[in-house]
């Protein structure tokens, strides 16, 4: 990871990022002026998809969730660069990319400090043709092969000691060539592989499935589907 400081901004770049990182990269208006915006995706916040050097990247701003988010929105207390959520997620993504795990390639990140407060942004490559497991299950039933692939992919992360703090079916993506990716590693960690936290992670995913099933008028997911996913997971995790 390369770090550059420009006034109140820290710019982070992965070893794979060949261009010099610019502050403009983190301004959606810059990409709009270049007519480079491919699409946007609304969630808790807008994610901007733009084309740069023949690659589609995703720009996201860090926003707080929950009740505290209503008060502080995008503000975090600054206790040093390496303790920021931006730095920690970017560093983790770089490590996972080196391990060959299916994550979006980290491109760059920015931490802007104002007194005791910082704000952050992250740029990664886009997963080609991405569709979340949640989106898929709203339109049709997942095949046994797809569910098994999800289970095996999660197991590969767990075997490497990857803890995903928000493992839910919106953060599991299928690419256009049917490869499974995990995204959103904010507050994630590399840990010693251990059944306790691994099982808690899987139970969180199950709760996510149940929550989404009760949220959408049509949702193709059954207990049999869950057992298919879980069985494939257990085959790899041992």
Task: Report DSSP state, residue 15.
Answer: T
In this prediction, residue 70 carries a pLDDT of 53
Report residue 193: phi and psi, to 5°. -55, 130
Q: How buried is residue 204: exposed, middle or buried, by Cβ count under 10 Å (0-12/13-18/19+)?
A: middle
| Confidence (pLDDT) at 69 | 46
Among all chains, which residue has been given the structure tokens 């997971």? 233
List C-alpha distances in Å: 4 to 10, 31, 41: 6, 22, 29
- Confidence band for 221, pLDDT divided at 50, 70 and 90: very high
How many C-beta atoms lie closer than 10 Å to residue 212's C-beta?
19
Q: Is the pLDDT of residue 163 over 70?
A: yes
If one compares 50 and 72, the residue with the highest pLDDT of the two is 50
Region 194-204: what's the mean pLDDT? 97
Average pLDDT estimate for 111-135: 96
Q: Residue 133: is its pLDDT beyond 50?
A: yes
What is the average pLDDT across 10-15? 96
pLDDT above 80 (res 236): yes
pLDDT for the residue numbered 80: 96
**Is residue 66 pLDDT above 70, yes or no?**
no
User: Which region among 71-85, 89-103, 156-170, 196-210 has the lowest average model confidence (pLDDT)?
Assistant: 71-85
**Catalytic member of 166, 184, 186, 225:** 166
Count CB-CB contacts under 10 A for residue 124. Answer: 25
Percentage of the chain lying above the pLDDT 90 cut = 89
123 pLDDT higher than 90: yes
Rg of the chain, C-alpha, whole Å: 18
Annotated catalytic residue 97: no
Which pTM does this prediction carry? Answer: 0.93
Domains and CATH numbers, the chain: 2-125 (3.30.200), 131-237 (1.10.510.10)
């Amino acid at each position: 990871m390369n770090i550059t400081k420009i006034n109140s901004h820290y710019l982070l770049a992965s070893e794979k990022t060949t261009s010099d990182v610019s502050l403009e990269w983190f301004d959606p208006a810059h990409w709009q002026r270049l007519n480079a915006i491919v699409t946007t995706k609304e969630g808790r916040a807008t994610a901007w998809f733009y084309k740069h050097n023949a690659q589609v990247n995703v720009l996201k701003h860090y926003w707080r969730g929950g009740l505290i988010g209503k008060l502080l929105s995008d503000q975090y207390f600054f206790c040093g660069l390496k303790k920021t959520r931006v730095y920690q997620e970017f560093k983790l993504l770089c490590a996972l990319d080196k391990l060959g795990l299916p994550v979006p390639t980290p491109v760059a990140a920015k931490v802007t400090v104002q007194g005791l407060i910082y704000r952050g942004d992250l740029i990664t490559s886009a997963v080609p043709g991405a569709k979340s497991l949640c989106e898929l299950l709203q339109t049709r039933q997942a095949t046994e092969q797809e569910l098994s692939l999800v289970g095996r992919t999660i197991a590969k992360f767990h075997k490497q000691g990857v803890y995903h703090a928000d493992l839910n079916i919106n953060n599991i993506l299928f690419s256009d060539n049917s490869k499974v990716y995990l995204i959103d590693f904010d507050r994630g960690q590399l840990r010693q592989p251990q059944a306790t936290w691994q099982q808690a992670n899987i139970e969180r995913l199950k709760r996510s499935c149940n929550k989404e099933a009760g949220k959408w008028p049509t949702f193709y997911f059954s207990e049999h589907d869950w057992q298919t996913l879980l069985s494939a997971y257990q085959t790899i995790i041992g």
